[in-house]
Amino acid sequence: MNEILEILEKDARTTPEEIARMTGIAPAAVRKEIKKLEKDGVILKYKAIVNKEISREDDSGVRALIEVRITPQKNLGFEHVAERIYQFPEVTSCYLMSGAYDLLVVVEGKSIHTVSNFVAEKLSPMENVRGTVTHFILKKYKEDGDILKQPERSKRPAITL
């Protein structure tokens, strides 16, 4: 795996100079490689991982996982319907699944009410959507490899030989 990517995936703030030191690659070459990764769309963007469980924003809202069953369209498959769904800003993730349903859609809204409205008014009536099952998320423990908890203090003694 590309080591520069691995470092940036752990901490996107690592500067090209620091990456150069960590890997022994020249700083100019690191900068060039990052530019290329960005240009090729391998690196899409850099953003902070916010723990909404403790961000204390009252409107941090609710999330639901929605199973969506759809009728595939001739020549278009699931692609076209998926696109119509994921363009909505309320949709934060959208996956094509194997198994009992077709799309797994993650929707975020201010309240249960807003999410329900979205499902009832936008998703369900959509042509080719055969049915939906909505699951509200009660608490998040871990997301994309990050445990959503304040990191604990180190338990090691400060000095040992």
8-37: contacts with another protein (CB under 8 A): 11, 14, 18, 21-24
Stretch that binds another protein, among 58-66, 90-98, 133-141, 151-159 (CB under 8 A): 151-159
C-alpha to C-alpha distance for 27 and 47, rounded to whole angstroms:
23
Count Cβ atoms within 10 A of the Cβ of residue 49 and give its class: 0-12 exposed, 13-18 middle, 19 or more buried.
Answer: exposed
157 binds another protein (CB under 8 A): yes
125 binds another protein (CB under 8 A): no
CB of 16 to another protein, least distance (A): 13
C-alpha to C-alpha distance for 9 and 46, rounded to whole angstroms:
9
In angstroms, what is the C-alpha Rg of the chain? 21
Q: How many residues does the chain have?
A: 161
Instruction: Pick between residue 138 and residue 158 the one whose CB is nearest to another protein.
Output: 158
39 binds another protein (CB under 8 A): no
CB of 42 to another protein, least distance (A): 20
Q: How many CB atoms lie under 10 A from the CB of residue 117?
A: 13
156 binds another protein (CB under 8 A): yes
89 binds another protein (CB under 8 A): no
Q: How many CB atoms lie under 10 A from the CB of residue 135?
A: 11
Residues contributing to the site for another protein (CB under 8 A)? 6-7, 11, 14, 18, 21-24, 154, 156-161
